[in-house]
């Protein structure tokens, strides 16, 4: 489940299994053709490999200390907007914090999937243990435990998934934007999927 955006995860949770499977298939095909992980010489490959390890080892991660206070506030505000706008189904606010040049998902796909989620299911995310674990001027990694509860209003089917997430932010002219999402489902959720 690592590297799949939260919108795909939530679509799979309630009624969107086929769309999520198709997107996963499409994503895997694209990755096979142009998978930066296979070329460790690229910055993106190094970042993807590093994030996989970071998410796996998340329990021992400490918040960075060498971050300017105003940047810490701006990054925290961007992360909170990302979560709050999703929970409030505020499409414009949510998309305004998503990078138009993301690393591990496509902007247009995220736009389409989030719209579909808002139109078809009731979904909420709750966050705990949020901390900035890496800061490098124009890039920041935010770790959090995420619990996503998705309810299909037509059937009252409800699914809760939880796991560890690292959200990568890039600093743009108009603020900090979500550029990558790395989610690792909890062991309980992995067992349910099998």
Domain boundaries, the chain: 6-193
How confident is the model at residue 33, as a pLDDT? 40
Using CA atoms, how far apart are residues 3 and 183, in angstroms rounded to an integer? 6
Name the residue with tokens 């037509």.
154
Per-residue pLDDT of 113-139, as tens digits, reads 999 999 999 999 999 999 999 999 999
Arithmetic mean of pLDDT, 172-186: 93
Structure tokens at 49: 């490999």
Q: Across the strands, what pairs with 126? A: 147
What CATH architecture is 6-193?
Roll (3.10)
Widest CA span of the chain, in angstroms? 49
3-state SS assignment for residue 62: coil
pTM over 0.75: no
For 112, the enclosing helix (H) or strand (E) is helix 107-120
Using CA atoms, how far apart are residues 86 and 84, in angstroms rounded to an integer? 5
């Amino acid at each position: 489940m690592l590297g799949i955006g939260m919108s795909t995860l939530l679509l799979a949770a309630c009624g969107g299994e086929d769309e999520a499977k198709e997107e996963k298939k499409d994503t895997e095909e694209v990755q096979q053709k142009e998978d930066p992980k296979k070329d460790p010489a690229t910055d993106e490959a190094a970042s993807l490999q590093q994030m996989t390890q970071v998410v796996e080892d998340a329990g021992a991660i400490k918040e960075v200390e060498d971050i300017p206070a105003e940047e810490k506030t701006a990054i925290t505000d961007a992360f909170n907007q990302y979560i709050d706008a999703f929970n409030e189904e505020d499409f414009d606010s949510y998309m305004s914090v998503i990078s138009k040049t993301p690393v591990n998902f496509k902007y247009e796909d995220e736009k389409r999937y989030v719209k579909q989620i808002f139109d078809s299911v009731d979904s909420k995310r709750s966050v705990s243990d949020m901390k900035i674990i890496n800061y490098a001027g124009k890039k920041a990694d935010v770790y959090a435990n995420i619990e996503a509860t998705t309810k299909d209003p037509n059937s009252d089917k409800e699914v809760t998934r939880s796991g560890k997430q690292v959200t990568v932010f890039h600093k743009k002219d108009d603020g900090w934007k979500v550029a990558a999402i790395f989610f690792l489902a909890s062991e309980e959720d992995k067992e349910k999927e099998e």
